[in-house]
Structure 1
Amino acid sequence: MTTTTRDLFERYHACWADRDPDRIIELHTPDSVFHLHSGQEPARGRAAIRAAAAGTFALVPDLTFRQVSLRVGPDFWVVQWQLTGTSATGRPVCVDLADFVLVEAGAVREKHSYVDGVAMQAALT
């Protein structure tokens, strides 16, 4: 585990925990990719990533993250989360998610999020 990558993880997670899309994209490379693997196309570039993050927060305005496990290497991290909150439709959300993140030059180059799609769909409809 490298201190630099672990520090980036901590700063990046704080941006998501604060539900702040502007701070999130500051930690991405300009040509970064964010792919929520739930049938959507990847968001490419900071503007698209900002829109994707803002869309997530609109769906679950009080979204919270409980870290289940974390592995950090020199240029990546893998983290398992349990997401909770209340959907914009008023339904409770409790969903498992795993993130695989590639780091380049001290910033997020790629973020791949794998979500329990059945649980997420049930919470949002």
Structure 2
Amino acid sequence: MTAATRDVFEHYHAGWEARDPDRIAELHTEDSVFHLHSGRPPVRERAAIREAVAGMFALVPDLAFEFVSLRTGEDFWVVQWKLTGTTVTGAAVDVDLADFVVVDGGAVKEKHSYVDGVAVQAALASPEAAGAEAH
């Protein structure tokens, strides 16, 4: 990982830790792709990425990230996390996540997040959570 890529990783993760959609979106290229591989299509461009991230934090306001491992290259990183929190309906979230991130020009060009689909479905099983997720 180059120093520039490491810097993007550190700032990007800090934005997620702070639950700050504006800060996260600012670290994406204008034409960036954000794809949470959970059966939904990818989100494209900063404004839409900001909206998608804000929706995640609205659904799980106390979302927390436990670092598992990090692999890096010159212009990418792959990181494993354990996500925990509580949905707005009170359901516990305990999900494994792997992110593959491509960096271009000091910003996130692509972010692909792969989650444990069974754990996500269990956390979102209540009708109230499904309604909150759609907003």
- TM-score of the superposition, structure 2-length normalised? 0.90
Q: Do 1:64 and 1:83's aligned partners in 2 also have CA atoms closer than 8 Å?
A: yes
Q: Which residue of 1 aligns with 2:119?
A: 119
**SS of equivalent to 1:94:** strand
Structure 1 distance, partners of 2:55, 2:117, is 16
Q: Which residue of 2 aligns with 1:30?
A: 30
**SS of equivalent to 2:88:** coil
Which structure 2 segments of 5+ residues have no match? 126-135
Structure 1 distance, partners of 2:88, 2:40, is 20
Q: Which residue of 1 aligns with 2:41?
A: 41
**SS of equivalent to 1:100:** strand
Structure 2 distance, partners of 1:53, 1:91, is 19
In percent, how many aligned pairs have the same letter? 74
Measure how far apart 1:72 and its partner are.
Answer: 1.5
Q: Which residue of 1 aligns with 2:65?
A: 65
Measure how far apart 1:88 and its partner are.
Answer: 1.1
Measure how far apart 1:31 and its partner are.
Answer: 0.4
Q: Which residue of 1 aligns with 2:128?
A: none
Residues 22-80 of structure 1, C-alpha deviations (whole Å, 9 max, x = no match):
00011000000000000001000001101110111111100000110001211000000
Question: Structure 1 segments of 4 or more deviating over 6 A?
Answer: none
Q: Do 1:35 and 1:42's aligned partners in 2 also have CA atoms closer than 8 Å?
A: yes
Q: Which residue of 2 aligns with 1:106?
A: 106
Structure 2 distance, partners of 1:28, 1:16, is 13
Q: Do 1:59 and 1:124's aligned partners in 2 also have CA atoms closer than 8 Å?
A: no
Q: Do 1:21 and 1:53's aligned partners in 2 also have CA atoms closer than 8 Å?
A: yes
Structure 1 distance, partners of 2:121, 2:94, is 11
Q: Does 1:2 align with 2:9?
A: no
Q: Which amino acid aligns with 2:37?
A: H
- TM-score of the superposition, structure 1-length normalised? 0.98
